[in-house]
Amino acid sequence: MKLFASKYFLPAMICSGCFMIFSLWILYVSVDHHSRQIKARQRLSLNIAESFIVFSKLLVEEHHDNPGRVNQIFETLQETSESINYISLSDTKGKHIASAGYCAHLDNGAKFSHGKNFIKHEDSVIIRKNFPSGTGKPDYTITISVDTSSCFAASDARSNLPKITFIAGSAIFALAFIIWSQFIRIHELGSRLLAEKRKSEFVDELGLAATGLAHETKNPLGVIRGLAQNIADNSKVSVSVRTKAREIMEETDVTTARLGDFLSYARLRKPSPSPIDAQEFITRIAGLLDDDFKNAGIKLVHTVDVPCVMADKDMLSQMLMNLLTNSLKFTPENGRVEILLTPSGGARATLSVKDNGKGIPAAILPNVFKPYVSGTPEGYGIGLAIVKRIAEQSGWKIKLLSKLDSGTEVTIAGIEVPGQIE
């Protein structure tokens, strides 16, 4: 199918453009959504951490003189809150006063950069703040690590929406494209089928007309031959006139024979296969032409290695007679023509007729099975066309090999052998 032929190019470009616009829109939505998620996560993380910092400041101010109590409160706060990973109290010089929980980021050497009071991570935020303790007391620092992963479970699920939308959109587009392509293909096949049907009907009508014309032409030819026969047999007519009458008879016979072959080709019926004794059949056909081959000085031999074949007897006879007649015509004196019927594996046999005659010119070899293609001026090329048509109607495969001045071999493969197991 020529998908991008002129009549399909515009729809294909429109579909491609729509898909590109759809993809860019999905990409934009995905990037924008992800950016908003990051900013929202940062704001929420800081808000949560700031809330715990304020709460911790109040606790420290209330129990500033009792570090043990602060440590106990921190442990209770860390254990009861799913969001707090780590909380600690130290003086501004870094001396530890109280703490609870564990912060891997701090243990792995994470440092607060100059001017920054928090460290962001994918699933947590660490925030630190210094607070004055009042007159006569040292200032103190509160550090807290808040887990933010649980806060964004629903948000993370929503963040997959652009990806899901993109995959679903791509699948819908691909499905629509496949359906559209198949629709175009079905439309084309339907158009071709309709065209072939019309062509077949026209050919049938033309063949019927030609067959009728050929049949009707044979009748006046019979009358012409009869008149010519009367003239040729009339002793009162001059010799030259009788000679011309005999020439008319000969040409009439040739024309009638050609019309007969044409009618055989045009009216070829469907085969009615039945079991045939192969040895008896080949021997009988060879016997019918034995005198012709002997008179031409050509040796005709046959080899039959199959006991029985399944075929239409009349059509197989017509096929074999045509092949042998061609070989007789193109094989010189002292030549050899051979008929071979051999098994080809399973329940099939192969029929071959080969000779060492003149061969077929390479120029006409590709069209040798077409009607009215002949290698000689006096030939009219219907015999091989009939052979091919019989083979096709019988479900056999035909092959012809020929080389100029070396001979010709015609092979009919796929003939059923009854009683054999495939």
Task: Report the phi/psi class of residue 136: left, alpha or beta, with left for phi > 0 and alpha for psi in -120 to 50.
Answer: left
225 and 96 within one domain? no
Given 241, 265, 289, which residue is the final one in a domain?
A: 265
373 and 355 within one domain? yes
Q: Are 138 and 162 in contact (CB under 8 A)?
A: no
Band (pLDDT 50/70/90 cuts) for residue 38 is: low
Between residues 248 and 4, which one has the greater pLDDT? 248
Kindly report, residue by residue over 352-405, the tens digit of the pLDDT: 999 999 888 888 888 888 877 766 655 556 788 888 888 988 999 999 999 888
314 and 406 within one domain? yes
Compute the distance between CA of residue 262 and CA of residue 259 in angstroms, rounded to an integer: 5
DSSP state letter for 304: E
375 and 278 within one domain? yes
Task: Report the phi/psi class of residue 364: left, alpha or beta, with left for phi > 0 and alpha for psi in -120 to 50.
Answer: alpha
**pLDDT confidence of residue 309:** 94
Given 116, 136, 159, which residue is the final one in a domain?
A: 159
15 belongs to a structural domain: yes
Task: Name residue, tokens 């070829």.
Answer: 268
CATH number reported for the structural domain that contains residue 56 in this entry:
3.30.450
165 belongs to a structural domain: no
Q: Are 338 and 301 in contact (CB under 8 A)?
A: yes
276 and 254 within one domain? no
Question: How many Cα atoms are found within 13 Å in the side-chain-facing hemisphere of 65?
Answer: 2
Separation in Å, CA 332 to CA 323, 352, 359: 16, 20, 11
169 belongs to a structural domain: no
295 and 254 within one domain? no
Q: Which residues are registered as beta bridge partners of 91?
A: 140
206 and 109 within one domain? no
340 belongs to a structural domain: yes
Kindly report, residue by residue over 45-79, the tens digit of the pLDDT: 666 667 777 777 777 776 767 777 878 877 777 77
145 and 218 within one domain? no
Residues spanned by the domain of 317 = 272-416
Q: CB count, 10 Å around CB of 280? A: 11
Kindly report, residue by residue over 261-308, the tens digit of the pLDDT: 666 666 666 788 999 999 999 999 999 999 999 999 999 999 999 999
Q: Are 337 and 324 in contact (CB under 8 A)?
A: yes
100 belongs to a structural domain: yes
164 belongs to a structural domain: no
- Considering the entire predicted model, what is its pTM? 0.49
Q: Assess whether pLDDT exceeds 70 at residue 134.
A: no
355 belongs to a structural domain: yes
168 belongs to a structural domain: no
Residues in the chain: 422
Beta-strand pair 124-131/118-120: antiparallel
Given 265, 282, 309, which residue is the final one in a domain?
A: 265
Q: Which residues are registered as beta bridge partners of 140?
A: 91, 131
**pLDDT confidence of residue 3:** 45
Q: Angle at Cα 120 formed by Cα 114 and Cα 122, nearest 5°?
A: 155
256 and 150 within one domain? no
276 and 388 within one domain? yes
Compute the distance between CA of residue 248 and CA of residue 252 in angstroms, rounded to an integer: 6
317 and 334 within one domain? yes
Q: Assess whether pLDDT exceeds 50 at residue 182.
A: yes
Give me the phi and psi of 359, to 5 degrees please.
80, 175
Q: Which residues are registered as beta bridge partners of 411?
A: 352, 399
Compute the distance between CA of residue 269 and CA of residue 349 in angstroms, rounded to an integer: 23
Strand, coil or helix: 339: strand
370 and 302 within one domain? yes
Give the total number of structural domains in the chain.
3
Kindly report, residue by residue over 223-241, the tens digit of the pLDDT: 888 888 888 888 888 888 8
Q: Assess whether pLDDT exceeds 90 at residue 320.
A: yes
**pLDDT confidence of residue 386:** 84
